[in-house]
Structure 1
Amino acid sequence: MKSQFLLILLAIIAGAVLPLQAGLNVQLGKSVHQPIFAAFASFLIGTVGLVIYLFILKFDFSSIALTKSVSPVVWIAGILGAFYVAAVIILAPRLGTTLTFVLVVAGQMTVSLVLDHYGLLGLPVREINWQKLVGIVFIIAGVLLIRRF
Protein backbone atom coordinates (compact mmCIF):
# COMPACT_ATOMS: atom_id res chain seq x y z
CA MET A 1 0.00 0.00 0.00
CA LYS A 2 2.84 2.38 0.88
CA SER A 3 4.57 1.81 -2.48
CA GLN A 4 1.27 2.45 -4.29
CA PHE A 5 0.92 5.74 -2.40
CA LEU A 6 4.45 6.75 -3.41
CA LEU A 7 3.72 5.94 -7.05
CA ILE A 8 0.54 8.01 -6.95
CA LEU A 9 2.42 10.87 -5.30
CA LEU A 10 5.14 10.66 -7.97
CA ALA A 11 2.49 10.80 -10.72
CA ILE A 12 0.90 13.88 -9.14
CA ILE A 13 4.27 15.59 -8.83
CA ALA A 14 5.13 14.70 -12.44
CA GLY A 15 1.87 16.26 -13.56
CA ALA A 16 2.42 19.31 -11.38
CA VAL A 17 5.82 20.12 -12.86
CA LEU A 18 4.54 20.22 -16.45
CA PRO A 19 2.84 23.64 -16.17
CA LEU A 20 5.94 24.93 -14.37
CA GLN A 21 8.13 23.61 -17.18
CA ALA A 22 5.83 25.25 -19.72
CA GLY A 23 5.97 28.63 -18.01
CA LEU A 24 9.73 28.54 -17.68
CA ASN A 25 10.15 27.44 -21.30
CA VAL A 26 7.78 30.20 -22.48
CA GLN A 27 9.99 32.75 -20.70
CA LEU A 28 13.10 31.29 -22.33
CA GLY A 29 11.47 31.27 -25.77
CA LYS A 30 10.37 34.89 -25.38
CA SER A 31 13.89 35.94 -24.44
CA VAL A 32 15.20 34.83 -27.84
CA HIS A 33 11.91 35.31 -29.74
CA GLN A 34 11.83 31.63 -30.68
CA PRO A 35 9.78 29.02 -28.80
CA ILE A 36 11.47 26.14 -30.61
CA PHE A 37 14.82 27.22 -29.13
CA ALA A 38 13.24 26.87 -25.68
CA ALA A 39 12.19 23.31 -26.52
CA PHE A 40 15.72 22.56 -27.74
CA ALA A 41 17.28 24.04 -24.61
CA SER A 42 14.85 22.10 -22.43
CA PHE A 43 15.84 18.82 -24.06
CA LEU A 44 19.54 19.69 -23.98
CA ILE A 45 19.53 20.51 -20.27
CA GLY A 46 17.29 17.50 -19.61
CA THR A 47 19.71 15.26 -21.50
CA VAL A 48 22.66 16.53 -19.46
CA GLY A 49 20.67 15.95 -16.26
CA LEU A 50 19.77 12.41 -17.29
CA VAL A 51 23.36 11.55 -18.22
CA ILE A 52 24.50 12.75 -14.79
CA TYR A 53 21.75 10.67 -13.19
CA LEU A 54 22.85 7.58 -15.17
CA PHE A 55 26.39 8.04 -13.86
CA ILE A 56 25.04 8.34 -10.30
CA LEU A 57 23.11 5.08 -10.85
CA LYS A 58 26.32 3.49 -12.18
CA PHE A 59 24.49 2.58 -15.39
CA ASP A 60 26.28 0.04 -17.56
CA PHE A 61 26.57 2.06 -20.78
CA SER A 62 27.66 -1.08 -22.66
CA SER A 63 24.03 -2.28 -22.36
CA ILE A 64 23.06 0.41 -24.87
CA ALA A 65 24.01 -2.13 -27.55
CA LEU A 66 20.92 -4.09 -26.49
CA THR A 67 18.73 -1.38 -28.01
CA LYS A 68 19.56 -2.81 -31.45
CA SER A 69 16.91 -5.45 -30.79
CA VAL A 70 14.04 -2.98 -30.37
CA SER A 71 11.81 -1.88 -33.21
CA PRO A 72 13.00 1.33 -34.89
CA VAL A 73 9.53 2.74 -34.19
CA VAL A 74 10.35 3.17 -30.48
CA TRP A 75 12.77 5.97 -31.33
CA ILE A 76 9.79 8.08 -32.41
CA ALA A 77 9.18 8.65 -28.68
CA GLY A 78 11.88 11.33 -28.68
CA ILE A 79 10.21 13.15 -31.55
CA LEU A 80 6.85 12.89 -29.77
CA GLY A 81 8.40 14.38 -26.64
CA ALA A 82 9.92 17.23 -28.62
CA PHE A 83 6.58 17.87 -30.34
CA TYR A 84 4.80 17.92 -26.97
CA VAL A 85 7.23 20.36 -25.35
CA ALA A 86 7.29 22.66 -28.39
CA ALA A 87 3.48 22.60 -28.72
CA VAL A 88 2.97 23.48 -25.06
CA ILE A 89 5.47 26.35 -25.31
CA ILE A 90 3.58 27.71 -28.30
CA LEU A 91 0.07 27.09 -26.91
CA ALA A 92 0.39 28.17 -23.26
CA PRO A 93 0.77 31.91 -23.93
CA ARG A 94 -2.00 31.82 -26.55
CA LEU A 95 -4.60 29.62 -24.83
CA GLY A 96 -3.51 30.09 -21.22
CA THR A 97 -1.89 27.44 -19.09
CA THR A 98 -5.16 26.04 -17.72
CA LEU A 99 -6.85 25.51 -21.09
CA THR A 100 -3.64 24.20 -22.64
CA PHE A 101 -3.20 21.56 -19.95
CA VAL A 102 -6.84 20.56 -19.69
CA LEU A 103 -6.73 19.92 -23.45
CA VAL A 104 -3.45 18.03 -23.04
CA VAL A 105 -5.05 15.89 -20.32
CA ALA A 106 -8.12 15.29 -22.50
CA GLY A 107 -5.86 14.08 -25.31
CA GLN A 108 -3.82 11.95 -22.91
CA MET A 109 -6.91 10.32 -21.42
CA THR A 110 -8.46 9.58 -24.80
CA VAL A 111 -5.34 7.92 -26.20
CA SER A 112 -4.67 6.19 -22.86
CA LEU A 113 -8.11 4.58 -22.98
CA VAL A 114 -7.42 3.23 -26.46
CA LEU A 115 -3.93 1.97 -25.52
CA ASP A 116 -5.30 0.25 -22.40
CA HIS A 117 -8.39 -1.19 -24.09
CA TYR A 118 -6.43 -2.89 -26.84
CA GLY A 119 -3.20 -3.47 -24.91
CA LEU A 120 -1.25 -1.58 -27.56
CA LEU A 121 2.52 -1.04 -27.27
CA GLY A 122 2.83 -4.04 -24.98
CA LEU A 123 0.69 -2.51 -22.23
CA PRO A 124 -1.67 -4.71 -20.20
CA VAL A 125 -5.28 -4.82 -21.42
CA ARG A 126 -7.67 -2.74 -19.30
CA GLU A 127 -10.97 -2.60 -21.12
CA ILE A 128 -12.96 0.58 -21.52
CA ASN A 129 -16.08 0.63 -19.35
CA TRP A 130 -18.89 3.10 -18.86
CA GLN A 131 -17.22 4.64 -15.78
CA LYS A 132 -14.12 5.52 -17.79
CA LEU A 133 -16.28 6.98 -20.55
CA VAL A 134 -18.13 9.10 -17.97
CA GLY A 135 -14.72 10.32 -16.79
CA ILE A 136 -13.87 11.41 -20.35
CA VAL A 137 -17.23 13.18 -20.59
CA PHE A 138 -16.39 15.05 -17.38
CA ILE A 139 -13.02 16.04 -18.82
CA ILE A 140 -14.69 17.34 -21.98
CA ALA A 141 -17.25 19.20 -19.85
CA GLY A 142 -14.34 20.69 -17.91
CA VAL A 143 -12.71 21.80 -21.15
CA LEU A 144 -15.93 23.50 -22.21
CA LEU A 145 -16.35 25.23 -18.84
CA ILE A 146 -12.75 26.43 -18.77
CA ARG A 147 -12.98 27.61 -22.39
CA ARG A 148 -16.21 29.47 -21.71
CA PHE A 149 -15.12 31.21 -18.51
Structure 2
Amino acid sequence: MQIVFIFIALSAGMASAFQSGSNQSLQKALDAPLWAAAIVAVVTAITSVAVVLTSGERLPAASAAATAPWWAWAGGLLGVGFVLGTVYAAPKLGAGLFMASVVTAEVVTGLLLDHFGLLGFDVHRAGWGRITGGALMIAGLSLIAIF
Protein backbone atom coordinates (compact mmCIF):
# COMPACT_ATOMS: atom_id res chain seq x y z
CA MET A 1 0.00 0.00 0.00
CA GLN A 2 2.93 2.34 0.67
CA ILE A 3 3.77 2.21 -3.05
CA VAL A 4 0.51 4.04 -3.81
CA PHE A 5 1.54 6.91 -1.55
CA ILE A 6 5.03 6.96 -3.03
CA PHE A 7 3.45 7.24 -6.49
CA ILE A 8 1.27 10.13 -5.24
CA ALA A 9 4.37 11.85 -3.80
CA LEU A 10 6.32 11.34 -7.03
CA SER A 11 3.39 12.79 -8.99
CA ALA A 12 3.34 15.80 -6.67
CA GLY A 13 7.06 16.28 -7.25
CA MET A 14 6.61 16.18 -11.02
CA ALA A 15 3.71 18.62 -10.75
CA SER A 16 5.92 20.92 -8.69
CA ALA A 17 8.52 21.04 -11.46
CA PHE A 18 5.85 21.79 -14.04
CA GLN A 19 4.33 24.41 -11.73
CA SER A 20 7.68 26.19 -11.55
CA GLY A 21 7.80 26.41 -15.34
CA SER A 22 4.18 27.46 -15.58
CA ASN A 23 4.62 30.19 -12.97
CA GLN A 24 7.80 31.38 -14.68
CA SER A 25 6.00 31.58 -18.04
CA LEU A 26 3.20 33.65 -16.52
CA GLN A 27 5.73 35.95 -14.86
CA LYS A 28 7.57 36.44 -18.17
CA ALA A 29 4.35 37.13 -20.07
CA LEU A 30 3.14 39.67 -17.50
CA ASP A 31 6.58 41.07 -16.62
CA ALA A 32 5.17 41.45 -13.12
CA PRO A 33 6.30 38.76 -10.64
CA LEU A 34 3.99 39.81 -7.81
CA TRP A 35 0.96 39.89 -10.10
CA ALA A 36 1.90 36.48 -11.43
CA ALA A 37 2.06 35.14 -7.88
CA ALA A 38 -1.30 36.72 -7.03
CA ILE A 39 -2.93 35.23 -10.14
CA VAL A 40 -1.53 31.79 -9.27
CA ALA A 41 -3.00 32.15 -5.76
CA VAL A 42 -6.42 33.15 -7.12
CA VAL A 43 -6.47 30.25 -9.60
CA THR A 44 -5.43 27.90 -6.75
CA ALA A 45 -8.24 29.20 -4.53
CA ILE A 46 -10.88 28.91 -7.26
CA THR A 47 -9.72 25.39 -8.16
CA SER A 48 -9.65 24.31 -4.51
CA VAL A 49 -13.18 25.58 -3.90
CA ALA A 50 -14.44 23.89 -7.08
CA VAL A 51 -12.91 20.57 -6.00
CA VAL A 52 -14.42 20.83 -2.52
CA LEU A 53 -17.88 21.76 -3.84
CA THR A 54 -17.91 18.84 -6.29
CA SER A 55 -16.49 16.32 -3.79
CA GLY A 56 -19.49 16.22 -1.50
CA GLU A 57 -17.26 16.71 1.51
CA ARG A 58 -19.13 18.38 4.34
CA LEU A 59 -18.10 21.74 5.76
CA PRO A 60 -16.14 21.19 8.99
CA ALA A 61 -17.45 22.72 12.19
CA ALA A 62 -15.94 26.02 13.22
CA SER A 63 -15.10 24.44 16.57
CA ALA A 64 -12.96 21.83 14.78
CA ALA A 65 -11.05 24.55 12.92
CA ALA A 66 -10.44 26.33 16.21
CA THR A 67 -8.61 23.27 17.57
CA ALA A 68 -5.92 23.38 14.87
CA PRO A 69 -2.47 24.47 16.11
CA TRP A 70 -1.20 27.85 14.98
CA TRP A 71 1.20 26.36 12.42
CA ALA A 72 -1.64 24.54 10.67
CA TRP A 73 -2.75 27.89 9.23
CA ALA A 74 0.64 28.71 7.70
CA GLY A 75 0.25 26.53 4.58
CA GLY A 76 -1.17 29.31 2.44
CA LEU A 77 1.60 31.70 3.42
CA LEU A 78 4.21 29.05 2.72
CA GLY A 79 2.57 28.32 -0.63
CA VAL A 80 2.86 31.98 -1.59
CA GLY A 81 6.53 31.83 -0.62
CA PHE A 82 7.02 28.87 -2.95
CA VAL A 83 5.24 30.63 -5.82
CA LEU A 84 7.33 33.77 -5.30
CA GLY A 85 10.42 31.56 -5.34
CA THR A 86 9.36 30.11 -8.68
CA VAL A 87 8.76 33.48 -10.31
CA TYR A 88 11.95 35.07 -9.00
CA ALA A 89 14.53 32.28 -8.66
CA ALA A 90 13.54 29.63 -11.22
CA PRO A 91 14.15 31.88 -14.25
CA LYS A 92 17.63 32.75 -12.96
CA LEU A 93 18.65 29.24 -11.87
CA GLY A 94 16.91 27.13 -14.50
CA ALA A 95 14.50 24.29 -13.79
CA GLY A 96 17.15 21.74 -12.81
CA LEU A 97 19.05 23.79 -10.25
CA PHE A 98 15.88 25.39 -8.89
CA MET A 99 14.17 22.03 -8.36
CA ALA A 100 17.36 20.43 -6.99
CA SER A 101 17.53 23.26 -4.45
CA VAL A 102 13.85 22.89 -3.54
CA VAL A 103 13.99 19.10 -3.22
CA THR A 104 17.23 19.14 -1.21
CA ALA A 105 15.77 21.70 1.19
CA GLU A 106 12.57 19.63 1.44
CA VAL A 107 14.47 16.42 2.22
CA VAL A 108 16.78 17.95 4.82
CA THR A 109 13.92 19.85 6.47
CA GLY A 110 11.73 16.72 6.33
CA LEU A 111 14.44 14.68 8.06
CA LEU A 112 14.57 17.26 10.86
CA LEU A 113 10.78 17.35 11.19
CA ASP A 114 10.70 13.54 11.38
CA HIS A 115 13.62 13.25 13.79
CA PHE A 116 12.12 15.66 16.29
CA GLY A 117 8.44 14.84 15.58
CA LEU A 118 7.65 18.47 14.77
CA LEU A 119 4.43 19.85 13.28
CA GLY A 120 2.51 16.70 14.15
CA PHE A 121 4.75 14.19 12.36
CA ASP A 122 5.45 10.87 14.06
CA VAL A 123 9.04 10.55 15.25
CA HIS A 124 11.31 8.78 12.76
CA ARG A 125 14.83 9.03 14.15
CA ALA A 126 17.55 10.10 11.74
CA GLY A 127 19.96 7.19 11.76
CA TRP A 128 23.07 6.92 9.63
CA GLY A 129 21.08 5.96 6.53
CA ARG A 130 18.88 9.04 6.67
CA ILE A 131 21.77 11.34 7.54
CA THR A 132 23.83 9.89 4.67
CA GLY A 133 20.85 10.31 2.31
CA GLY A 134 20.52 13.96 3.31
CA ALA A 135 24.24 14.51 2.85
CA LEU A 136 24.08 12.89 -0.59
CA MET A 137 21.22 15.24 -1.51
CA ILE A 138 23.43 18.20 -0.54
CA ALA A 139 26.33 16.71 -2.53
CA GLY A 140 24.04 16.21 -5.54
CA LEU A 141 22.82 19.79 -5.32
CA SER A 142 26.44 20.95 -5.20
CA LEU A 143 27.27 18.97 -8.34
CA ILE A 144 24.25 20.37 -10.18
CA ALA A 145 25.16 23.91 -9.08
CA ILE A 146 28.80 23.60 -10.11
CA PHE A 147 28.34 21.81 -13.41
Give TM-score, length-normalised by structure 1: 0.91
Gaps of 5+ in 1: none
Deviations along 1:46-87, one digit per CA (max 9) or x if unpaired, are 1111111111111222x2512122233322221111101111
Gaps of 5+ in 2: none
Deviations along 1:5-53, one digit per CA (max 9) or x if unpaired, are 2211111111001111111111111112111222211121111111111
Which residue of 9, 19, 22 corresponds with 2:20?
A: 22
What is the alpha-carbon distance in structure 2 between the residues aligned to residue 43 and residue 92 of structure 1?
18
What is the alpha-carbon distance in structure 1 between the residues aligned to residue 61 and residue 29 of structure 2?
37
1:123 is displaced (CA, Å) by 0.9
Q: Structure with the greater relative contact order (CA < 8 A, sep ≥ 6): 1 or 2?
A: 2
Aligned sequence identity (%)? 30
Partner in structure 2 of residue 135 of structure 1: 133
Partner in structure 2 of residue 9 of structure 1: 7
The Cα RMSD (Å) is 1.3
Partner in structure 2 of residue 104 of structure 1: 102
1:4 is displaced (CA, Å) by 2.1
Quick check: 1:78 aligned with 2:79? no
Quick check: 1:36 aligned with 2:34? yes
